[in-house]
Amino acid sequence: MVLLDLLVKAGAKVTAINVEHGIRGDESLSDSNFVRNYCEDRNIPYLSFSVDSIKVAGDEGISLELAARKLRYEVFDKLLSEGQLDCIALAHHQDDQAETVLMRIFRGTGLRGLRGIIDREGYIHPLLPFSKEEIMDYAGEHAISFVEDSTNYDSYFTRNYIRKEILPSIVTRYPGVKDSIERLSETACELEDYLMSEITPCKYNEGDKSGILPVSVLKRHPAIAKKSIVECLRTMGVDKDIEKNHLESIIALKDSENNSIINLPFGIDARKEYDKLTFTPREEKLEYRAHFNSKFSYSFAGYTYSFVVTDKIVNGLTFDQAAIPKDAVIRTRRDGDKFRRYGGKLKTLSDYFTDIRLPARIRDKVLVVAKGSRVYLVLGIEISEEVKVTEFTNKIMLVDIQEWH
């Protein structure tokens, strides 16, 4: 309520937002009514929302504390995205900052987490420089009434345990600890900004949801290398559970053989592909098999393949339809496949893929036309020497590939 009072006195155009979390029953509804009455008495616009934190905590297997926060910010984000509000001012103060940083240290955090509570797009924290004691004094001096959430006294919740048990004990021995944590947070913000200015940007592919970094990033200073990896994973939607050992395993790929892979626990594979470090969502191996008929189209792994008659010869891509065996099939690759590339010698399909530096993550998505283990077409890449166009060819065909949209 102090924040609301200060904003109104500053002349800001304010709308009060109350989110009732569905945790404390009638008591929670009473608190919401208090806020509504306070705003109505002062002609302050007011928005109220009710959410079911208990249900979300159970459905998603998360703590009640985390579920309440998640739902609260979903409400805030929706108001911002719809343009109903320009920004949201939150009443976090210096004590909240100290609790947040300590909680993250105890759980395990990096530099980013040490920043604590920070302003971000759409969100500001005007009271962050002030202690709870200073805010309470202001409320008393200006006769600002308020109610306090009774769950704030329940040490079952992690933040309350730190607030009621841990932080007071630390303050007894180190009276200036809150100021010290505030300075630590400010330093962490400065260092985080510097690292962000030095990282190697990730190239994100919307099509297959992959992220790509140059392998050379792994040879940079460990802090820069790790930060580049973390930000690449964050681009892919991985924002938690990234541990030190994961980052060190990825960095070790710089000395590994080509196509070396790390299976990360959050459903992402990191793979060294020649001069690239590729992060891809983990997929089950794809398989496909159908009788080959050049009159048909075939769809697989995001692409549609069809075969068109042409009068232009494109070496390595156009083929003699009559040279394809009548009982050939179109399928994904198999162990033991053999392929004689256009103008080349017979070798395993796997060796051919290595020769052309085809990324391992793509190989299982390539379709071939084959009979037995003999491959005649690697669709969209190359034809076999055995089906090339010659002076005796009656019908020249070209593979047409269209990406799904």
CATH number at residue 239: 3.30.465.60
Q: Does 40 share its domain with 189?
A: yes
The reply to whether 214 and 346 lie within a common domain is no
Same domain for 374 and 309: yes
Beta strands 338-340 and 374-378: pairing type? parallel
Together in a domain, 260 and 392? no
pTM: 0.69
CA 336/CA 307 separation, integer angstroms: 26
pLDDT score at 134:
96
Rounded-to-integer distance, Cα 86 and Cα 7, Å:
14
Q: What residue has token string 């009276």? A: 175
Closest residue by Cα to residue 98 from 36, 171, 14, 35:
171
Q: Domain residues for 346?
A: 289-403
- Is residue 144 located within the same domain as residue 243? no
How far apart are alpha carbons 49 and 70 in whole angstroms? 14
Q: Which residues pair with 227 in a beta bridge?
A: none
Tell me: do 102 and 155 sit in the same domain. Answer: yes
Interhelix angle 94-107/177-198, rounded to 10 degrees, is 70
Q: What is the pLDDT of residues 324-370, one digit of tens each?
A: 998 999 999 999 999 999 888 999 999 999 999 888 888 888 999 99
- Please state, in angstroms and rounded to a whole number, the distance separating the CA atoms of residues 253 and 255: 5
Last residue of a domain, one of 247, 263, 281: 281
pLDDT for the residue 184: 96
Provide the domain count of the chain. 3
Instruction: Give the pLDDT of residue 298.
Output: 87
Residue where a domain stops, chosen among 230, 248, 281:
281
Q: Which of 84, 95, 259, 228 is nearest to 163 (CA)?
A: 95
Mark whether 187 and 82 lie in a shared domain. yes
Same domain for 253 and 303, yes or no, is no
Which of residues 281, 307, 329 is at a domain's end? 281
Among 172, 99, 87, 102, smallest CA distance to 131 is for 99
Q: Are residues 188 and 231 in the same domain?
A: no
Same domain (yes/no): 71, 166: yes
CATH of the domain at 166: 3.40.50.620
Res 405: pLDDT = 47
* Domain co-membership, 19 together with 112: yes
Q: Answer yes or no: do 55 and 181 share one domain.
A: yes
How far apart (Å, rounded) are the C-alpha atoms in residues 369 and 381?
12
**Digitized pLDDT (tens) for each residue of the chain, 405 residues in all:** 999 999 999 999 999 999 999 888 888 899 999 999 999 999 999 999 999 999 999 999 888 889 999 999 999 999 999 999 999 999 999 999 999 999 999 988 889 999 999 999 999 999 999 999 999 999 999 999 988 887 777 788 788 899 999 999 999 999 999 999 999 999 999 999 999 999 999 999 887 889 999 999 999 999 999 999 999 999 999 887 788 888 998 998 988 888 888 888 888 989 998 899 999 988 777 788 888 988 888 888 888 888 999 988 887 789 999 999 989 999 999 999 999 998 889 999 999 999 998 888 888 889 999 999 999 999 989 999 999 999 899 999 998 888 864
